Structure 1
C-alpha cells in the first residue's frame, strides 16, 4: 500500500517538516515553518492536503538517559492542537534524541557555513532524520 508520511521536528520557534516518498522508504526535507510568522497548524493542514497524507511522525525530545524533557510536553500539546484542527490524523512518535545534533553535523560537512543559513535548514533536516528513523524501524 502506498502511503506518504509527514514528519515534524517541533520547536518553540520553528517546526522542521519532512516528507516520505509514496513507498515509505526515503525521507526528504520539505520546509521550515517559522511559528512567529506563520500559523503552524494551518500550514500543516495545507501540507497534509498538498501531500495527500494523514500520517504524521513527530519527534519526541528525550534526555540521553531516556527520560522525557519539558519540551516533550510542549510537543504533545502541539499534537493535540493538530488533532483537534485536522480531522483523521494518525500520529507516530519517534525518539528524536540526537536528530538535531546529527542534522547539525551533516550540515557542517556542507557549504552552509553561516549560522543563519544553517538555522534555515537544520530543522527540516532534523525532521527528515526523524522520519528516516521511523521508516527504517518499520522495515
Structure 2
C-alpha cells in the first residue's frame, strides 16, 4: 500500500512498529529510524546510490535488522503543493520498495532547508553538512510523519 494519507497508513499499522524514513536523492538515499512507539526519529545509514537492486538490498538489510514495519518516503512537492517531476520519481521509488511494507509519502518541501539552517546554527562546516544532510532530512521527514500519526491516534 502506498498513500499520502496518515489515517490510511495508520489503519494498516494500528499497533505501531518501527518505521524507516527515506530521503531519496539522485546520488544518495538518506535513512532514518524511529522507535516502535513512534516517539522520536534518528538519522541512520546513508546509502550511496548505484544500481537500484544493490540499493534495495542495503535498504532491506537495514529494515530487517531493525524490525521495520513501514516506510515514510519524502515527497518533494512544489511550493504551491503541486507535484513536480521529482515527485513522480519518489512515487516510482515507492512502487519499487512497496514490498518492504506499507509506504507513507510525506511532504518534504521544507526538510532540507530546515535541517541545513539547524546545521548552520550549530556552526557545522560545509563538508560535514554535505555529508549529513540527507540522513538528517530523512529524520526530519520521519519525525513530521510520526508526529502526525500520533496526533491522529489521540
* TM-score relative to the length of structure 2: 0.81
Q: Which deviations, in whole Å up to 9, do the C-alpha atoms of 1:2-27 show, x marking residues without a partner?
A: 51100000011111100001211101
Q: Which deviations, in whole Å up to 9, do the C-alpha atoms of 1:98-135 show, x marking residues without a partner?
A: 00111111111224212x22111000110011011001
Q: Which of 119, 132, 139 is the equivalent residue of 2:143? A: 132
RMSD: 1.6
How many residue pairs match? The answer is: 135
The runs of 5 or more residues in structure 2 that have no matched partner are 1-14
4+ runs of 1 displaced by more than 3 Å? Answer: none
Q: 2:65 maps to what in 1?
A: 50
SS of the aligned residue for 1:45 comes to helix
* TM-score relative to the length of structure 1: 0.90
Q: 2:32 maps to what in 1?
A: 18
The runs of 5 or more residues in structure 1 that have no matched partner are none
Q: 1:81 maps to what in 2?
A: 96
- Residues in 1 aligned to 2:51 and 2:16: alpha-carbon distance in whole angstroms: 34
SS of the aligned residue for 2:81 comes to coil
Q: 1:92 maps to what in 2?
A: 104
Q: Which deviations, in whole Å up to 9, do the C-alpha atoms of 1:60-119 show, x marking residues without a partner?
A: 000110011111111111122223xxx4511011101100111111111224212x2211
2:31–2:45 contact (8 Å) kept in structure 1: yes
Richer in helix (by share): 2
